[in-house]
Amino acid sequence: MTDPLDLLPDGVVVAGPDGRVTAVNVVAAQMLGTAPSSGAAGRPLDEVLALSDHEGLAWTAVNTPYAGLSTRTGVPEQSWLLPDGTEVLVTARLHRDERGGPVRAVAVSLRSGRGRARLDRDRSDLVATLAHELRSPLTGVKGFVHALLNRWDKLSDEQKRLMLTTAGADADRLSRLITELLDVARIDTGRLQLHRRPTDLGAKADRVVQSLGVVTSTPIELSIDDDLPPVDAHPDKVMQVLTNVAENAVRHGSGTVRIHVGTWADDPSYLAVSVSDEGAGIPPELRQRIFTKFWTAGTGGGSGLGLYIVHGLVRAHGGTIVVDDRPGGGARLVTTWPRAQ
């Protein structure tokens, strides 16, 4: 009959009140390079649990599971090294028959440290990406402000206006990046709050086009159907979604970017915003991956958060988001929004 401990995904080592091992599951035996329960039973815990830190100290010597405070019930998770140098995460439970009594059993759990190492790398990549994304507009703002301060009397009004307009656009970009970070945290934790009210979707799309026209030379064409009703949405989040989608088309597509606002053909109770470009398009096998966190492709840069946030915000409104091909070539991304009742 299979030992229940062998069914666990983590390594487990159990020792009795005398400090001798009573059980070792298969995973722990493989990690520690020792025999499973049948061969390890009766051996001292410090001999079977061959773990050391970077200074060469043993786990049992550092944590003294059978000594210390009589109220102690466990050892928190720590990073230790196996005999082959691999990192593992180790935690332990100290079992007592009564509070303050002697330790009757020690159960040690060993888990691979690869998951945490991967998470640490992801965090480092996130910090590096965000630092780059934040530094670019901040450098622009700083440069134009210093130029205005040092050469104010030598600059024409038109030059001053251009510098201030560009600095303002970079400052808006910084603000959007910070908002994106906050929204990622809220989406991940399910704490996203929407203050919905009737919103003119066409007017929001027009504002996005005007804003992008200041910072890009890519031609953007906007068409809005007549007599469209308002949608039930958070106005700021609508702007955020449309800006991210349009910027994505400008950054990763080519040719003219076309935005169309109209009634969704599949369901008239929704309005749809279609954003298309004349680039190479998005392969079908990648159309779901583009909405994952930190996904980037090509040389257009970006934090990799924009479409992840777009997906979360549209779904939070009860809408949908679809990626397909634009007739004639290129990519088309369609977001739908519920009409206000």
Residue 77 phi/psi, 5-degree rounding, is -65, 135
Q: 288-339: per-residue pLDDT in tens?
A: 788 877 676 654 555 677 788 899 999 999 999 988 888 877 889 999 999 9
Q: How confident is the model at residue 301, as a pLDDT? A: 53
Burial (Cβ within 10 Å: 0-12, 13-18, ≥19) of residue 24: buried
For the chain, the average pLDDT equals: 86
Q: Where are the domains of the chain?
A: 8-112, 117-189, 197-338
The pLDDT tens digits for 190-231 are 788 889 999 999 999 999 999 888 878 889 999 999 999 999
Angle between the N-to-C axes of helices 306-316 and 235-252, in degrees from 0 to 180, rounded to the nearest 10: 140
Q: Which residues pair with 88 in a beta bridge?
A: 80, 112
Q: Among residues of the chain, what percentage have pLDDT more than 70?
A: 92
Could you tell me which residues are beta bridge partners of residue 30? none
Q: Which residues pair with 74 in a beta bridge?
A: 93
pTM of the full predicted structure? 0.58
Instruction: Name beta bridge partners: 245.
Output: none
First to last CA, the chain: 63
13-27 pLDDT, tens per residue? 999 999 999 999 988
Strand segments (E) across the chain: 11-15, 21-24, 74-81, 87-96, 103-112, 197-199, 220-224, 231-233, 257-263, 270-276, 321-325, 331-338
For 224-245, the pLDDT digits (tens) are 999 999 999 999 999 999 998 9
The values of phi and psi at residue 44, to 5°, are -60, 145
Specify the CATH number for 8-112; select among 3.40.50.1000, 3.40.50.300, 3.30.450.20, 2.130.10.30.
Answer: 3.30.450.20
The dotted CATH code for 117-189 is 1.10.287.130
Domains 117-189 and 197-338 share a fold: no
* CATH code of the domain occupying 197-338: 3.30.565.10
Q: How far is CA 117 from the centre of its chain?
A: 16
Q: How far is CA 236 from CA 26, 162, 223, 248, 339, in A?
A: 55, 26, 21, 18, 17
Q: Quick one: how many helices (H) and strands (E) in the chain?
A: 9, 12
- Mean pLDDT (whole number) for 163-184: 83
